[in-house]
Chain A
């Protein structure tokens, strides 16, 4: 037994009662400001740059020109679309880490249709086929692990991760087989792309994702199926008890997830790049998980969280261009900001109680 009895300090983590919205907003704003200050100090320590100039450069990178704003909105739209896709599954506590592969396979289906039917079908029909193919491909890629989970309770995290690698290898195989020079680079097929609205290439993507956001919001919030997802997520036993067919819900939800990822693949390939490679999804399938979590699975909040992530990416790229800093420095800044934001979520939900008394066995 230790002798220091009279000054026993105990630390408890206690769940808070829900805070009014303005406190939540205030704490989050404070976290961002604090993050910027800490990041500023670190930048000054690591480099000889003025942190204010760095923040100005970040803003410039995101909003400095028309083309940057469009590019920002386009990237937000794609990231948001994939975040919407992973959300129903996460809400159901199905840890879908396979969005990357589901997007890629949707993109692969799109590019395959463009390549082999592009000169055979009129454009409107071609786009219909592209859409159907990409959605189906996304669904297949998501449903395979869902069926295994529902029937044999396999680990969906590992399964979906493995499916990513299969999708990546299929793309490599596709490029090897059909790009006969062996360069692995498929020339973009812009002529078979999605329509360009009002002369803005990204506008259609943005509109589609905006509509999807509202639809997913309504689906999760106000439909019976959305409610079933929530119940299965809270407790499978409860779901069973009140007569919800959990297997059916798991598979049905992953169909929704996969279809949305397929659409993201369609937009990335048909609307943006008009070609494909293994980097087309660019890790967004994983970033989307963070977007969804940060927004607490609320599609409307996700607009802001995906905006935040894309803003940080665009800003940090501009910083590394303007100041000739390695991208790692800007990634550190991004990391700090995210750390503070995630941290503040903790303090919004819990409080730390430090009690200093001599209670026995405290």
Chain B
């Protein structure tokens, strides 16, 4: 019933949109459009032959309407094409909630003869583990999870990407945009404040906004940031409200770690530049979109399929970086981004690649006005919420090396959390 109502509403909205769109679009402004991506997804190298009876199943929390899930589904299309898999070999289950339904879906896929079952949402993990124990011959791979390295199952694996590097690069684009505003005297250097819409006060989000902030700070030293949490990974209304609240608090640029179009949409309506996540929002927000970082899951899919086809072991934790093609950027919207953004990002990519720059270098940030020399992080997710692993090595926080999922959860100076209730 709710869905039917939603459907009708959407239809009505779509109609209004059509009318509205024909209404505007009259002035003919010269648009430069999107640049080439400085960090595009590489071509997948498939150096193995997939047997005809091979099957892989995918479990997604939502469907293509969520930018998060769309990012996974696009990668599925990419690997399916590259590895020459048929639709019968690639089974996709969407809208699988984080509960027993995930266990049922995983068992369903395994029973259908899938060699690999992949799930994309954090809350799927325990239910994947439960299914993995029942099907020892099927490989269960889980994105964003934390338990594979302590669970000790041969057929359960976690994966992530060093997306903090992508966030850092996107942060540079944000910082340069702030510099442009400062130079144009639209704001003072002290007013260079970014607003960030986060889902939960969770390491994945904290690591994301901190690396984004550090990227901005690397080019705009006076930048500060306000973070507003929504308490949900996907809530278009809350994300829109949060973005509007941040804009009202004089944030001159917005970014987000939440999966709907809520925040980018609010930015387009208010004319505030937006650095996006999970993929381009240029199509719907051409006047405010700057750039988006995203995890490209296709290299991981390629890796696990190769392992299964060749009979090799899949790593318990796999974290793809820039080199693997797991961290990507969209093109840069030259109508919004500051001049020289593409070149600055290209230079930073080179620095990250050869290790000249480390995102979480302890020289780049302070906690309580002090430089960090030691920090124990909660890497082993045993349900005790007790940190046990030293994360500072050689003057930097070693993100995503002790396990694939991020564990940077420090509150650094310069970033204000507006509502830590979530």
A320 / chain B contacts, CB cutoff of 8 Å: 63, 94
> Any chain B CB within 8 A of the CB of A182?
yes
- In Å, the complex CA distance between A314 and B172 comes to 46
Which stretch (A154-162, A328-336, A345-353) binds chain B? A328-336
With A182-B201, A188-B126, A324-B87 as known contacts, state yes or no: A282 contacts B1, CB within 8 Å.
no
- In Å, the complex CA distance between A334 and B4 comes to 9
Flag if B422 contacts A172 (CB, 8 Å).
yes
> Any chain A CB within 8 A of the CB of B127?
yes
B231 / chain A contacts, CB cutoff of 8 Å: 172, 176, 184
Min CB–CB distance B126 → chain A (angstroms): 5
B91 / chain A contacts, CB cutoff of 8 Å: 321
Min CB–CB distance A32 → chain B (angstroms): 18
- In Å, the complex CA distance between A327 and B61 comes to 13
Flag if A321 contacts B98 (CB, 8 Å).
no
Min CB–CB distance A209 → chain B (angstroms): 16
Q: Which of A283-320 contact B (CB under 8 A)?
A: 283, 286-287, 289-290, 317, 320
> Any chain A CB within 8 A of the CB of B100?
yes
0 or 1 for each of A68-99: is its CB under 8 Å from B? (1 = yes): 10010000000000000000000000000000
0 or 1 for each of B199-233: is its CB under 8 Å from A? (1 = yes): 11111110000000000000000000000000111
> Any chain A CB within 8 A of the CB of B29?
no
Flag if A185 contacts B98 (CB, 8 Å).
yes
Flag if A272 contacts B92 (CB, 8 Å).
no
Nearest B residue (CB) for A282:
B97
Flag if A335 contacts B4 (CB, 8 Å).
yes
Nearest A residue (CB) for B421:
A176
Flag if A317 contacts B99 (CB, 8 Å).
no
- In Å, the complex CA distance between A65 and B232 comes to 34
> Any chain B CB within 8 A of the CB of A275?
yes
> Any chain A CB within 8 A of the CB of B123?
yes
Interchain CB contact (< 8 A) of A181 among B4, B7, B233, B378: B378
> Any chain A CB within 8 A of the CB of B402?
no
- Interface residue SS majority, chain A: helix
B92 / chain A contacts, CB cutoff of 8 Å: 321, 324
A173 / chain B contacts, CB cutoff of 8 Å: 421
Min CB–CB distance A23 → chain B (angstroms): 28
Interchain CB contact (< 8 A) of A71 among B104, B125, B200: B104
With A68-B108, A280-B99 as known contacts, state yes or no: A187 contacts B383, CB within 8 Å.
yes
> Any chain B CB within 8 A of the CB of A354?
no
B63 / chain A contacts, CB cutoff of 8 Å: 320, 326-327
> Any chain B CB within 8 A of the CB of A120?
no
Flag if B98 contacts A279 (CB, 8 Å).
yes
Flag if A181 contacts B385 (CB, 8 Å).
yes
> Any chain B CB within 8 A of the CB of A128?
no
Kindly state the interface size class of chain B when it binds its partner.
35 or more
Number of interface residues of A (CB under 8 A): 42
B356 / chain A contacts, CB cutoff of 8 Å: none
Interchain CB contact (< 8 A) of A272 among B100, B232, B381: B100
> Any chain B CB within 8 A of the CB of A277?
yes
Nearest A residue (CB) for B90:
A324
With A65-B108, A331-B3 as known contacts, state yes or no: A184 contacts B202, CB within 8 Å.
yes
B93 / chain A contacts, CB cutoff of 8 Å: 317, 321
> Any chain B CB within 8 A of the CB of A273?
yes
With A286-B2, A331-B4 as known contacts, state yes or no: A181 contacts B381, CB within 8 Å.
yes
A275 / chain B contacts, CB cutoff of 8 Å: 99, 126
Nearest B residue (CB) for A70:
B104
- In Å, the complex CA distance between A183 and B378 comes to 13
A68 / chain B contacts, CB cutoff of 8 Å: 108
B193 / chain A contacts, CB cutoff of 8 Å: none
Min CB–CB distance A150 → chain B (angstroms): 28
> Any chain B CB within 8 A of the CB of A67?
yes
B409 / chain A contacts, CB cutoff of 8 Å: 181-182
Flag if A279 contacts B1 (CB, 8 Å).
no
> Any chain A CB within 8 A of the CB of B95?
yes
B100 / chain A contacts, CB cutoff of 8 Å: 272-274
B240 / chain A contacts, CB cutoff of 8 Å: none
Flag if B1 contacts A182 (CB, 8 Å).
no
Nearest A residue (CB) for B202:
A182
Flag if A184 contacts B108 (CB, 8 Å).
no
> Any chain A CB within 8 A of the CB of B373?
no
Q: Which of B1-59 contact A (CB under 8 A)?
A: 1-4, 7
> Any chain B CB within 8 A of the CB of A200?
no
Flag if B95 contacts A317 (CB, 8 Å).
yes
> Any chain B CB within 8 A of the CB of A3?
no
> Any chain A CB within 8 A of the CB of B64?
yes
Min CB–CB distance B112 → chain A (angstroms): 8
With A180-B385, A185-B122, A335-B7 as known contacts, state yes or no: A67 contacts B2, CB within 8 Å.
no
> Any chain A CB within 8 A of the CB of B366?
no
- In Å, the complex CA distance between A190 and B1 comes to 32
> Any chain A CB within 8 A of the CB of B107?
yes
Flag if A326 contacts B64 (CB, 8 Å).
yes
Nearest A residue (CB) for B104:
A71
- In Å, the complex CA distance between A331 and B7 comes to 9
> Any chain A CB within 8 A of the CB of B374?
no
0 or 1 for each of B81-119: is its CB under 8 Å from A? (1 = yes): 000000100011111011111001001100110000000
- In Å, the complex CA distance between A335 and B11 comes to 15
Kindly list 11 other residue pairs between chains A and B, CB separation below 8 angstroms, not including A289-B1, A317-B93, A335-B7.
Answer: A181-B385, A185-B123, A185-B125, A187-B126, A272-B100, A283-B2, A321-B92, A324-B87, A326-B63, A327-B63, A328-B7
